[in-house]
Structure 1
Amino acid sequence: MQIDGTLTATHQRGFGQFKVWARSTFSGGPKARTYALVGGAVVLWASWPALATVAYPAPPLLVLGASALIGFLFSFVLATKQRALTSFATVPFKTLAFVAIGLMGNNAFYLAAIARIGPAEANVVHYLWPVFLVGLASALHRRAPTLLQTLGIACGFMGVAVALSPQMGGGLDLIGVLLGACGALTFAIYSVGRSLAQVETNVVGPSLGLASIAALAAHFILEPAYWPTNGQWLAIVLMGIGPFTVANIFWDKATREGSAATISSLAFLTPLVAMMLLATFGLGVVTVATLIGALFAIAGAVLSSGSK
């Protein structure tokens, strides 16, 4: 090869490969798109504990039903603007039911856990879901967890134990802990199920319509009549648009574009951001124990999700 003031053939090929990599990474490549979707979901999810705390003590089924209705209407407007009403209205009922149960079950368990063990503690318990997700993915592929995955699972549960340690002197509400764990497991099952789905359209919005009907009907049957304050209504509206709708649309797209077990590791910052919001707005007591517990939960998610 001769250098004549221009790039040699080898350098040209190398530079061309670099440009392809750069475009893929920084200009909307598949992986960059997936990571951006998960990142958006994480930021919006982090606002959920704070908004749920503002909405309390409004009955949980009312909060869920009203939030789902707001989310459905917001999604309908989006579909109208995108001229996608046909796909919006033709999602198979089986898919609607699965998504509605997944989202409603996850959030109902979470709201119930907040009322019993506190928002910061419920937040740590709920973020066992990445650990559960990896365990379910391993079982689905019929392979035993690796050493790192096992260590990650252990770290996740250790984090919950540390976060709840101040309440273990006799005031620990085991039912509240179980409710938080059920919410985590529900969302892990939902994420695995959606990662296997072949439906490419937005199913979150239409499913929220079904979820709102079920939740509001259950509210009128099981809960006392209640009219939220202006502040609670604002929290419910923001909940319906942000963490309830846009975040789950982002996550739903991400789980269909990438490996559920891999992208779950990107959710590791959510409990810390959520705690920061709770502390910043004075909505929850964030103790050293809950902070350390969150760090253990994060380590568990990273270790278990990052290993192959």
Structure 2
Amino acid sequence: MDAQGTRADAVASGHGHGAATHPARRLRATGIGAGAVLLWASLALFTTLTGRIPPFQLTAMAFAVGGIIGLPRAVRGGAALARTVPRGAWALGVGGLFGYHFFYFLALRNAPAVDAGLIAYLWPLLIVVLSALLPGERLRWWHAAGAVLGLGGTFLLVTGGQGVHFRGEYLLGYAAAAVCAVVWSAYSVVNRRYPGVPTDVVAFFCLATAVLAAVCHLLFEETVRPDGGQWLAVLALGLGPVGGAFYVWDHGTKHGDIRLLGTLSYFAPLLSTALLIAAGRADASWPVAAACVLITGGAVLASADALRAARRRG
């Protein structure tokens, strides 16, 4: 069998040469994946700068940018790159990126934003829990406890400390938000089964998501023509939280500490709120301060393994 065929078999079996099993490479991959959390923190701020562009139109535009930035490397791989990617990886990539956004917008259309956002943000906790199903991974109490603390901090951020009141008339929206959380957590965890699939193919996943979002836009929304400033915000979204972030997240979930990445994901809403406060689009309050303590404490607790390993190496 030639080298190309050997690589394809390795990818399909989930044992590509890119698997980062060495502690240093694993830690580096986790750091790269955590970069997605930093990029996602800018999502709310950039989205507010896009004005009244409908969500599916905005998704199509941003993902088009996200796909284009990675297209040169993906095209360089040519047909050989496409042949090394199993069908399951294609379905997972496109289904994860588009499915998450589709159900998230469906939730926002059929339930209050606070309720839907809180349910949708169960995905970091689900990542930590589902990671126990992966070969070679073990869920320890501190991983779960750290994720729960992060969820508590997110609850304070989303609700402003006021609590939530779930109502039966919003059942469809609640269900869509729950599916949204399951889709993204499942995508992130199952992505670990394809360590040999190059991150370059994320460009194709982004472009496919852009096409599907454009179809939804034409079916459900009225087109809004962006002005100059809004075009810049769309470009920033595609370069960052709705595009570029998925490349580093792909690498991190394949080769890094998936449990720690799940817990660190709770920093996204915290940093997002901090950016909105700095930009004068939100006010500082006690729930923000309390959330900072809970999320930071949860991250430290969940990273106990990495901290011990670092001390041993030192």
Q: Fold conserved (TM > 0.5)? A: yes
Q: What corresponds to 1:98 in structure 2?
A: 92
Q: Distance in 1 between matches of 2:280 and 2:178?
A: 25
Distance 1:207 1:161, change over 3 A: closer
Distance 1:150 1:76, change over 3 A: closer
Tell me the TM-score normalised to structure 2 length: 0.72
Contact 1:70 1:240 in 2 (8 A): yes
Which of 206, 210, 213 lines up with 1:212 in the alignment?
210
CA RMSD in angstroms comes to: 3.7
Q: What corresponds to 2:271 in structure 1?
A: 273
Contact 1:130 1:264 in 2 (8 A): yes
String of CA shifts for 1:92-142, please: whole Å, max 9, x gaps.
Answer: 4442232122122334455677787669x9877655432211111225569
Alignment length, in residue pairs? 279
Which structure has the larger Rg over C-alpha atoms? 1
SS of alignment partner, residue 203 of structure 1? helix
Q: What corresponds to 1:132 in structure 2?
A: 126
Q: What corresponds to 2:77 in structure 1?
A: 84
The alpha-carbon deviation at position 241 of structure 1 amounts to: 1.9
Segments of structure 1 that go 5 or more residues without pairing to the other structure are 1-23
The alpha-carbon deviation at position 183 of structure 1 amounts to: 3.8
Distance 1:209 1:242, change over 3 A: same
SS of alignment partner, residue 228 of structure 1? coil
Which of 214, 221, 224 lines up with 1:223 in the alignment?
221
Q: What corresponds to 1:58 in structure 2?
A: 53
Which of 131, 155, 158 lines up with 2:152 in the alignment?
158
Segments of structure 2 that go 5 or more residues without pairing to the other structure are 1-21, 307-314
SS of alignment partner, residue 214 of structure 2? helix
Identity in percent: 26
Tell me the TM-score normalised to structure 1 length: 0.73
Q: Distance in 2 between matches of 1:209 and 1:174?
A: 32
After superposition, residues 233-272 of structure 1 pair within 5 angstroms as: 233-272=231-270
The alpha-carbon deviation at position 47 of structure 1 amounts to: 1.3
Which of 286, 289, 299 lines up with 1:288 in the alignment?
286
Distance 1:154 1:263, change over 3 A: closer
Which of 189, 194, 200 lines up with 2:197 in the alignment?
200
Q: Distance in 1 between matches of 2:45 and 2:70?
A: 23
String of CA shifts for 1:155-181, please: whole Å, max 9, x gaps.
Answer: 244334433154448799977777665
Q: Distance in 2 between matches of 1:166 and 1:306?
A: 29
**Aligned amino acid, residue 211 of structure 1:** T
